[in-house]
């Protein structure tokens, strides 16, 4: 029987599952696998990052953008522990990632060797599969099992590899199950689908809420909303599934949200909750609303709102079935009021695109981003106020992709996600959108973009503050403390790292910088200095005359420059009176 190096056999398993690149930083405890990666370099690319956290966040972004397993490694001790942040991002956003951990030689284990850690318990909580390889012969098998588990449970699989095992020769066996691995669609029971029809017929204020479970389902969503005459709201991770120009797409709920979406969910008497596990439902959904939940995971039923009807099955299929079986609704005051509320909201946002003052508003920056963005561009948004701006101001086409760190909401995911996006989709235009706080955490990996000649457009919104946290301190009426940031010129700094750098302080500099970025074949960093103004807090609007005095409303409007934007209830009442 022929033999093969155990490390090479393991790397070939990765290749069989479609892994074409892996992130990491070499270390003595991982050198046997580095040697295997060298021998397989024509089949799988090793991507040298400047911090293992960046590699793990990039692997998570690969999985979010492609649906394929992301891959990363870290050497024993600090290399491994640096992965934790990115692996939790993958775990909490439910995407498959395999993490390979270096370990001291098997003959040194349990001898308190240099950099030796008991890595299994450290990674137990973050993983769906967590094993230490016990023999060289089992190395390829364990990695195959890990990848199967990562796909099956949409989570993180961790394999710890004693360094000596990767150097050993073993008998060659094709242990990969990639060619026979299957997934399927859970179809809803028709009795459950039919049980939803009376809710749809009787509702006066219905809302469709979608999550990632209906990805690639815009055709079904559009037909459903137009047939049943209801608006649609999405989770942040579902940004891009519905084109932003859709007349019924109200945006997003919660704090990283839009006014039309929050208002509709607070007023709704029926919420059809499809393919989502939105964690803030009990805060932002009308508690009295009837609630139909559609999901492929029964454990999620009732988690976010009392559920009146649960439908176990694929979200897209369920929407199709409801249209096939249900009675078409006519346009009514609720449907028209939400469309008008949405138009008012969009007009209000665009009213700030043109210069009216010396400082540059985010709306003007996103106008430039939307102007140069190609129809299938990919956007990776970091966490903070930039997330709020992106979900409100990126006008996505339906062909474009967007991702961020959703549930874990870790700052510093922008630059790593951009690296992943460009490696996975080399022919597509890629933007990263970061605040100065998040960007500073990972800016060293602009070097990675430069090293691998990745023409990514990195936009930094510098307001010299952890603005999102500053707003939280404001809401709790405490002293603002620890949130101010030292000013930095990221354009010049990143130019020194080898990127094209621009620092923008005036409106007239915006267009030339973005024109240059669109034409560049190198990484670009555009650092735009913006005022430290809080985005409109749609989670706590002081605009409704039923709840606030005229004085309170006027004070709120003045602070946040609100104009020509009545609340949904007022618009709905107006449309209702016209129909009587």
Q: Which residues are catalytic?
A: 52, 114-115, 255, 383, 468-469, 472
Q: CB-based contacts of 101: which residues, under 8 Å, 6+ apart?
A: 73, 74, 75, 76, 79, 80, 83, 119, 123, 158, 159, 160, 161
Token code pair at residue 208: 């469709």
SS3 for 355?
A: coil
Residue 303 contacts residue 234 (beta carbons within 8 Å)? no
Distance, in Å, from the CA atom of 130 to the CA atom of 230, rounded to the nearest integer, reads 45
Beta-carbon-side half-sphere exposure of residue 261 (alpha carbons within 13 Å): 27
Q: CB-based contacts of 566: which residues, under 8 Å, 6+ apart?
A: 344, 543
Residue 485 contacts residue 527 (beta carbons within 8 Å)? no
Distance, in Å, from the CA atom of 580 to the CA atom of 576, rounded to the nearest integer, reads 7
SS3 for 73?
A: strand
Token code pair at residue 36: 């295997």
Helix axes 31-39, 6-16, angle to 10 degrees: 60
- Please give the backbone phi and psi of residue 470, each rounded to the nearest 5 degrees, phi first: -60, -40
Residue 446 C-alpha from the chain's centroid: 20
């Amino acid at each position: 029987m022929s033999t093969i190096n155990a490390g090479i056999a393991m790397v070939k398993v990765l290749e069989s599952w479609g892994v074409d690149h892996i992130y990491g930083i070499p270390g003595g405890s991982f050198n046997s696998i580095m040697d295997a990666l060298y021998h397989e370099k024509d089949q799988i690319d090793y991507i040298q990052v400047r911090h293992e956290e960046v590699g793990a966040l990039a692997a998570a972004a690969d999985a979010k953008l492609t649906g394929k397993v992301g891959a990363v490694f870290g050497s024993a001790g600090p290399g491994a522990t640096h992965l934790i942040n990115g692996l939790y991002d993958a775990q909490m956003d439910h995407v498959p990632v395999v993490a390979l951990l270096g370990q001291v030689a098997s003959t040194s284990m349990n001898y308190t060797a240099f950099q030796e850690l008991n890595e299994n318990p450290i990674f137990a909580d973050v993983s769906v599969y967590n094993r230490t390889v016990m023999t060289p012969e089992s190395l390829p098998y364990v990695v195959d099992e890990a990848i199967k588990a990562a796909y099956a449970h949409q989570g993180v699989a961790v394999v710890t590899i004693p360094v000596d095992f990767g150097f050993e020769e073993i008998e060659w066996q094709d242990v990969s199950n990639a060619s026979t691995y299957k997934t399927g669609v859970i179809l809803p029971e028709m009795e459950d689908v039919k049980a939803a029809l009376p809710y749809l017929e009787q509702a006066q204020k219905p809302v469709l809420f979608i999550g990632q479970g209906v990805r690639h389902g815009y055709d079904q969503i559009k037909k459903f909303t137009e047939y049943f005459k209801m608006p649609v709201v999405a989770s942040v991770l579902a940004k891009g599934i519905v084109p932003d120009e859709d007349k019924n797409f109200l945006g997003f709920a919660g704090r990283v949200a839009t006014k039309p979406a929050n208002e509709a969910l607070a007023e709704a008497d029926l919420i059809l909750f499809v393919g989502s596990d939105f964690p803030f439902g009990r805060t932002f959904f009308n508690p009295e609303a009837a609630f139909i939940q559609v999901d492929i995971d029964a454990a999620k039923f009732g988690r976010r709102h009392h559920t009146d009807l649960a439908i176990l099955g694929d979200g897209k299929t369920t929407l199709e079935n409801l249209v096939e079986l249900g009675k078409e609704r006519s346009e009514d005051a609720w449907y028209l009021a939400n469309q008008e509320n949405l138009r008012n909201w969009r007009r209000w946002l665009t009213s700030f695109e043109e210069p009216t003052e010396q400082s540059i508003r985010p709306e003007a920056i996103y106008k430039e981003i939307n102007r140069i963005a190609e129809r299938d561009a990919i956007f990776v948004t970091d966490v903070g106020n930039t997330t709020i701006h992106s979900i409100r101001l990126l006008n996505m086409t339906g062909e474009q992709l967007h991702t961020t760190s959703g549930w874990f909401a870790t700052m510093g995911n922008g630059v790593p996600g951009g690296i992943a996006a460009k490696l996975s989709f080399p022919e597509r235009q890629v933007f990263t959108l970061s605040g100065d706080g998040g960007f500073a955490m990972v800016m060293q990996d602009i070097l990675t973009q430069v090293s691998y000649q990745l023409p990514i457009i990195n936009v930094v919104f510098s307001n010299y503050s952890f603005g999102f946290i500053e707003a939280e301190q404001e809401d709790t009426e405490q002293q603002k403390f620890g949130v101010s940031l030292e000013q930095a010129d990221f354009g010049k700094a990143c130019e020194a790292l080898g990127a094209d750098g621009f620092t923008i302080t005036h409106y007239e500099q915006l267009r030339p910088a973005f024109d240059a970025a669109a034409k560049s074949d190198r990484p670009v960093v555009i650092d735009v200095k913006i005022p430290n103004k809080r985005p409109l807090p749609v989670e706590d609007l002081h605009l409704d005359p039923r709840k606030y005095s005229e004085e309170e409303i006027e004070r709120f409007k003045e602070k946040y420059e609100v104009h020509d934007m009545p609340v949904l209830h007022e618009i709905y009442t107006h449309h209702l009176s016209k129909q009587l």
